[in-house]
Amino acid sequence: MRKLALTLALASVPSLAAAQQWPGVSGQITVQTAPPPPPPPQQPVYVQQQPPQYAPPPPPPGNYAPQYPQPMQPRLNYNLVYGPEPVTSGARIQLVVGQSFNGMGIGLALAGVAEARSTSIYSGAMLLGGGVGAVASLLATRDGITMGQSSAINFGTLFGGLAATFTAVGLSRTIEGRGVAGLFAGGLALGTGAGIAWASQSPLSGRVEFASSMGIWSAFVGTHLYLATRGYGTWDDRGSSNEFAVLGWSSLGLMAAGLTAGVLLAPNVPVSAARMRWINLAGLGGYTVIGLSSLLLAADGSGSNALMAYSIGSIAGLGGGLVLGYFLTQNTDSYWDRMHEGVARRPGPTLSVAPGGPGGSPGLSFGGTF
């Protein structure tokens, strides 16, 4: 055993010497007795994304002269020929003034019905009636009123008074003072009520003026036709028992026929109140020039000839003036006609949907006209 141990020891000596000569064989053993420190936290990295760059589309061929802004044209939201009509303070003032006179007339007529003996009673009745008419019209129009509605009420009052007057003339041989006063008060009240019913339909002022003009000028023609027959000698100088009845009933009938025809025709007649007033003024001018001139020219003859010349001349002058006024005022409503045509031709609202958002981004694009 000793020999074997010695032999092993001697054999290991050259091996150790050779091991000392091996190149690159070195090392270090580290024994870690504690855990390593945690690594430092990493900072978040922000990446800035650049938006995609799109080249603008080339401009279309054409004239690239500088465009200057055009002045804005005012466009009203109403039309005085075709409607709707605006609520105005002028219409309210017109109604208050007209109904003040209406109240004064009714008050005076009621004082006559009561057969008042003192003039102070008539004066007080007129003042009281005028105040009631003004206050009532103010309270009734707190929410506003259009010119067509105001004209309808006032013209209703006027035609009620004219109807009462013609009726009183037709009944002149059978009615007395108290009955005439009551008839006049009733006519004003009924005419005002009819005008209120007409105003509830919201008529346009031009159509009210047209229908009212038809009624007034028809009554004018009826009266002058009677004067023409009077001048022709149909009635004797002593007067016939039905002479005034013919005057009253014929004027009343023609006025009612003209007013009815005007109301029926008005919806088909595109005319403004301003143009209708100019036409009426032209008719009044024709009556003044031709009718009164005829009376002056025939003044040297007999009374019947002068009366007949005046009557026929007045009717002819009225007709000629109305026709002349119609042709002279053809361009009066041209602005309202153009406005109506523009509204009628304007296309209705449209809506279109296209894929893709602005700048080529994903999405949907909506477009339209309103």
Q: How far apart are CA 58 and CA 257, in angstroms?
A: 72
pLDDT at 10: 44
Q: Which residues lie across from 354 on neighbouring strands?
A: 365
Q: Report, in this order, helix, strand and coil percent for the chain, each rounded to 5.
A: 65, 5, 35
Q: Is 251 exposed, middle or buried (0-12, 13-18, 19+ CB in 10 A)?
A: buried
pLDDT at 26: 47
CB atoms near residue 150 (< 10 Å): 27
Per-residue model confidence (pLDDT) at position 244? 78
Residue burial 60-85, b: 16+ Cβ < 10 Å; e: rest? eeeeeeeeeeeeeeeeeeebbbbbeb
Residue spans per domain, the chain: 83-203, 204-343
Structure tokens at 334: 């041209």
**Model confidence pLDDT, tens digit, residues 281-330:** 999 999 999 988 888 887 665 667 788 888 899 999 999 999 999 999 99
Query: Tell me: the pLDDT tens digits for 10-29?
Result: 444 444 444 444 444 444 44
Distance CA 215, CA 280 (A): 12
CA distance 182 to 178: 6
Q: How confident is the model at residue 227 (pLDDT cuts 50, 70, 90)?
A: confident
Q: How far is CA 185 from CA 113, 177, 179, 266, 269, in A?
A: 9, 12, 10, 29, 33
Give pLDDT, residue 363. 64
Residue 353 phi/psi, 5° resolution?
Answer: -125, 130
